[in-house]
Every structure is written in structure tokens, then in C-alpha cells.
Structure 1
Amino acid sequence: MIQTVLAKISPEEFGVCSAHEHLSIDLSRIKKDPDTILDDEQGMIEELEDFYRLGGRSMVEVTNDGMGRDVLRLKRLSEATGVHLVTCTGFYKDPFIPEFAHGWRAEQFASHFIKEATEGIGDTGILPGVIGEVGTSHNEIKPIERELLIGAALAGKATGLPVTTHTTLGTLGYEQVQLLTEYGLPVDQIIIGHQDLNANKDEVLAVLETGAYIAFDTIGKVNYRPDEERVEFLLDFIKLGFEKQILLSADLTRKSHWKKHGGPGYGLVLENFIPKMKEASISQDMLDQFLIINPSRAFSIRER
């Protein structure tokens, strides 16, 4: 089963999924940029309705505590639009970890995540369906991030929830898998994020070879890499037989990303990237693998 903000649903109900997104977020405490505040609820509804119109049916919303998580808002959004929304427990990375958790060790992180996963977030009664996004810095795992990742692994092992990660510019994905599995998290519960930001194909292949899922989840952010390069990597990964481990998304975090403000909107993958994949002769069955089958497996809660 997959835990959404409204209820548990079967994997077959999940449909076309955007695997790593933010609807309600506030990164301005660190970023000092009002563009990184998403707080327009009516705007969120309009953006989700457009996503639904394009064929999207589910979204994994990985805004956690310290990034502006608002699970009651997500519940209202899901009720208003019919889009299945999965919320998260977890903390992001340094320096976004909430002040109350500064200095925590892995066991404290794990205890907090397990409590939210079993008792609900705050007094809302809403359960998270994923642990994440938990992350590391650019080419560096800071001590607090190491404790955070170990805590996520322990909590994932205890609850059966998948763990989805942040890698800064795609770095240290393999090292994240090694750390998470060292502390007992099964590799099929791991989703390594932002791997489309890493231009080093061998490093991304090293992650795939562990058996973990990878997220090509910054699609459309061509200031980092052209989408044509993302397609080329995907073609190679398909040829090598890794198509069952790949998830797609756009990771929108700014007002300027929304259609109402002139951006591409949450349907970016469906509206802009899928046509590029079709032009590259990627079959509809393969697209369904990425958009429907893989997410339905990746975000299913493992039995404990």
C-alpha cells in the first residue's frame, strides 16, 4: 500500500506520478529570496488541476520540517483536486535542519521519524508516506548529515517507508546508498535524488548497479544541464537494463516555476519532456514504466 495524506491506497490507484515535488515551501530563511516561498493555496490548486489535466494523478511532496511543511494544506489540496499527495517525515540537510534538532544523533532522528510515521504529524493524524528528502552537501557528508542519513535508514528499516534523498548537484549518490544499507535499509527502499544533475555517467551507473532507485527529478532545469543530455543518459540506462529503477520529476521550488508566473508548471515532464523522449524512440511502455510502474513500487510501504 501507498500512504497518501488522505488514506492508504493500492499501488494500482497511484497512476502517473511526479516523484519529487514541492507545493508548499519556504526556503527564504536560508535563501533570502521571496521567490522560494510557495504559499498561494489557490495557485497551488490551479497548478495541480493543470497537472491533472495533463494526465498526472499523484505527486510525492518532499517538503519536510524546516522547509515549510504544511500537511493540512496538502490534505486540502488533495481533496480539492483529486491528485494523490504523499507527504514526508524527515529533515533536509545542513543548514536547513530545524534548530531543535541541532546536535541530534542518529537514534534521535530515527525516533522522531518513527513517531511521525506511526502516530501522525503533530496532532493532524496525517501519516507520511516517505522519509525525505534527506540530503548531503556538495561532495561532502557533514557530521550532522551523516547522523541524519543513519537516522533515516533506521526509521525506514523500522517502518517500511521508502527513503528519498537529496544529492547536491548529484554528488555522493553511491556513498549515500552505502551508508543507508550499512545501517540495514534494504536497497529497494532507497531513492537517490537529483541524479540527472550529475554529468558523470559512471557515478550514476554506480548507484544503479547497487539496485537502488534513482530520480531524474530536476527535468527542465536547463541552467544545470540540457534536457537533451538527460534523454541521452536515459537511453543508455535503458540499453543497460536499468529501466525498472528510474523515476521522473521536476522539483519545482519557486514562484517563477509556476505557470501562473510564466514558468513551466508541474506538468513540465508530461508536457515538455515526454515528447522529447518519444522523439528519441522511447516507447510508451517504457514511459509507463518510468511514470507509473516504478513509482508504484518505489513508494509502496514494505511489510514489517
Structure 2
Amino acid sequence: MPHVQTVLGPVEPARLGRVLSHEHLLCLAPGPGLGQDPVDLAVAALRGLAAYGVDTVVDLSPYGDAGRDADGANVELLREVARRSGLHIIAGTATYRAEFSPAWVRAAGVAELTRRFVADATRGIGGTGVRAGILGEQPTGLDEVTAHEETGLRAAARAHHQTGLAINTHTTHGTMALEQLAILDQEGVPRDRVVLGHLDNHPELDYVRRVLDTGVNIAFDSVGKQCWDLRTPPPARTPPDGEYRKRALHQADLTRADRLARLVDEGYAEQILLSQDLTGSQSYLNPTTHGQWGYRYLPAVFTGMLTERGVGEAQLTAMLRTNPVRLLTVDG
């Protein structure tokens, strides 16, 4: 039977409402070690979504990053979030960029990672019994695809063939999307089972159109993240006291809404998914969006911006429900 694999078990696709397709539910504290219970934070943050028709959240945290621990065992906490919030929670499985990955991931080859992803989908992540419902977010870096990142993409592709799960990627600022797709094409992954993430952060709309014209799905999944820091590993040496430079970016939601409305008007709504990629460490940079509204920002505020730009209810339903449910559904 076709189903969506949630952390509490399989669910009929028809039971799902609107979906936030790329979030990190155990990464809502502004920093580790602050004594804040991650389940309490997640349940509180999810409160109120049902009023906007959102009843499903996909957690795309990879091993060792974005709230997922190195062996994945704390994915068990997502079950408690689902029980207490009353929402459908789907857990992804993935590795991340090398500088944020645990040692076992950095040492693993394609075959080992493939076995891990398949086990996560069929037996459970980290021995918890919580089965993955999607493969992702599988990343590439800024303007490059490293050997480590290619290993992860190929492993996800091969796990797709054994499990039927869709693949959701991370592009750094929208770059390397076509290069990701070329690798997945080599592995024989159908383009309609792939979501290339963070294309809303690419500065050139024509590039986004080129990606869409391949037939693949994309995500505008940084809604509300108007300012963010480029994540880099800690410096190898302690810098001297005083000011230092860091890289940061800005993408106004007005720009994001303008571009998305144009793409919808051009007929691409059936290939686009929406989400916020909300994390506690970045919320302070966005006090009027994530900082004020949390998860409610997308359905309460951003959809209104789209409506003002001529996006209709049917197109919103496609991007917030039909498309993500289609990607999350597996047969058998």
C-alpha cells in the first residue's frame, strides 16, 4: 500500500495536510548546553500550525549536525515531539559536509553509507526503530562538489533504488544544483523523485529556471531566513582579540516572493516545495520573521505575500501539500 513513513509509523498519504518540507526540530536552542529541553522547545514552536492547515513536518537533520547526534540515536526524541504535538513528523537520513560530520562518516565509502541509509529506512536510525521517510538533506558546498559530498550523493542514490525513498539535497546558496543532478542522473535516479534544496537563495532567477527545466523538483525552503551567516568550521588557531571578518548573506522575502510568484505564473508550481529551514542559532538574525512568528511565519505571513502577487489557492496547495506528499509517498 502507498504510504508515508512517519516517526510513529506508516500513514496514508491522504491523511496529510500542508507540509513543512525542510526543518530541524531538535535544533531550536540558540546554542548547545543551555539546559533547554529540545522536545519542549520543538513542541512549543510547533503550536498553532494546525490553524493554518499544517500538520506535517519533515526533519532533514543529517548525522552529527542540525540537532542530530553522531550515531542518530536522539532521533527517538522526534517520536515524543510527534506524540505531544499531534503532528506527523518525518525523519530524514543523510550525511553532511565533511567539516561538520562525525569521524565515522568522513571515513565511510559509498557502500558503507548505502548500507547505513538502507538500514535507516528499513530497520531504524541509530538502532531506535525510527525509520527514515526520506533521504536528505544530502549536501554540496559553495561552488564545489567535494569527494566526500559526491560519496554521500551516490550513496543516497543507491539507497533510493533499494528503498524507494525520495532524495532531498542541500545546495549551498543554490550553487551546484545542476552538478548534483548530473551525479544523480548517472546513478539512474528519476528526476521526479529528487528535490534540490535552497534554490531560493541563488541570486539568478534564470539559473533557477534552467534547473526547473530539467524536470526536477526544487525547494524554496529558506522562507523567513532573510539574513544568515555562512557556516564555516572554527578557525584552526585562536584569532587575536578584536574584530574579525565573517561572511553573511541577505535575501529579502519580498525578493523571494517576487521570484516565486513569477515562477508560478510561468507554470512551475508543480515542481516547487516550500519550507523555512528554521534553526535557533540563526533566528536572532531574523527577529521580524522567525524570531517573531517561528514556524507560523510561512503559512501566516509569506503565503499572504504570494497571494498579493497573484498566486492562487490551487498553486499554494500544490507547493505546500500535493508536491511534498507526492515526494514522501512510497509504494509497498
What's the TM-score, normalizing by structure 1?
Answer: 0.91
Q: Is the 8 A contact 1:257 1:263 kept in 2?
A: no
Q: Is the 8 A contact 1:24 1:38 kept in 2?
A: no
Q: Is the 8 A contact 1:244 1:294 kept in 2?
A: yes
Could you say which residue in structure 2 is the equivalent of 1:59? 57
Q: Is the 8 A contact 2:28 2:280 kept in 1?
A: no
Q: Is the 8 A contact 1:157 1:186 kept in 2?
A: no
Task: State which drifts further: 250-259 or 146-155.
Answer: 250-259
Could you say which residue in structure 2 is the equivalent of 1:239? 265
Alpha carbons of structure 1 residues 27 and 207: separation in structure 2 relative to 1, 3 Å: farther
SS in 2 for 1:102: helix
Q: How does 1:151-162 map to 2 (within 5 A)?
A: 151-162=155-166
Q: Is the 8 A contact 1:215 1:246 kept in 2?
A: yes
How many residues are treated as equivalent by the alignment? 298
Q: Is the 8 A contact 1:161 1:302 kept in 2?
A: no
User: Deviations along 1:158-179, whole A, 9 cap, x unmatched?
Assistant: 1100111110011111111111
Q: Distance in 2 between matches of 1:37 and 1:146?
A: 37
Which amino acid is 2:162 matched to? A
Could you say which residue in structure 2 is the equivalent of 1:254? 280
Alpha carbons of structure 1 residues 262 and 145: separation in structure 2 relative to 1, 3 Å: closer
1:194 aligns with 2:198: yes
Give 1:86's match in structure 2, choosing from 76, 90, 93.
90
Give 2:149's match in structure 1, choosing from 131, 145, 148.
145
Give 2:16's match in structure 1, choosing from 5, 14, 17.
14
RMSD, matched Cα: 2.3
Q: Is the 8 A contact 1:170 1:196 kept in 2?
A: yes
User: Deviations along 1:123-160, whole A, 9 cap, x unmatched?
Assistant: 32110001111101100101111111111111112110
Q: Is the 8 A contact 2:75 2:130 kept in 1?
A: yes
User: Deviations along 1:196-249, whole A, 9 cap, x unmatched?
Assistant: 000111221122112111010001112221112112222222232211010000
Could you say which residue in structure 2 is the equivalent of 1:71? 75
Considering only CA atoms, is the larger Rg found in Structure 1 or Structure 2?
Answer: 2
Identity within the alignment, %: 33
Q: Is the 8 A contact 1:119 1:127 kept in 2?
A: yes
Unaligned runs of 5+ in 2: 69-73, 228-249
Q: Distance in 1 between matches of 2:21 and 2:92?
A: 12
What's the TM-score, normalizing by structure 2?
Answer: 0.84
1:26 Cα deviation after fit: 8.6
Unaligned runs of 5+ in 1: none
Q: Is the 8 A contact 1:91 1:134 kept in 2?
A: yes
Task: State which drifts further: 201-210 or 213-222.
Answer: 201-210
Could you say which residue in structure 2 is the equivalent of 1:279? 308
Q: Is the 8 A contact 2:39 2:80 kept in 1?
A: no
Q: Distance in 2 between matches of 1:98 and 1:249?
A: 27
Q: How does 1:200-219 map to 2 (within 5 A)?
A: 200-219=204-223
SS in 2 for 1:85: strand
Alpha carbons of structure 1 residues 280 and 148: separation in structure 2 relative to 1, 3 Å: same
1:39 Cα deviation after fit: 4.6
Q: Distance in 2 between matches of 1:110 and 1:40?
A: 29
Which amino acid is 1:143 matched to? A
Q: Distance in 2 between matches of 1:94 and 1:232?
A: 35
Task: State which drifts further: 174-183 or 47-56.
Answer: 47-56
1:122 aligns with 2:126: yes
1:257 Cα deviation after fit: 3.0
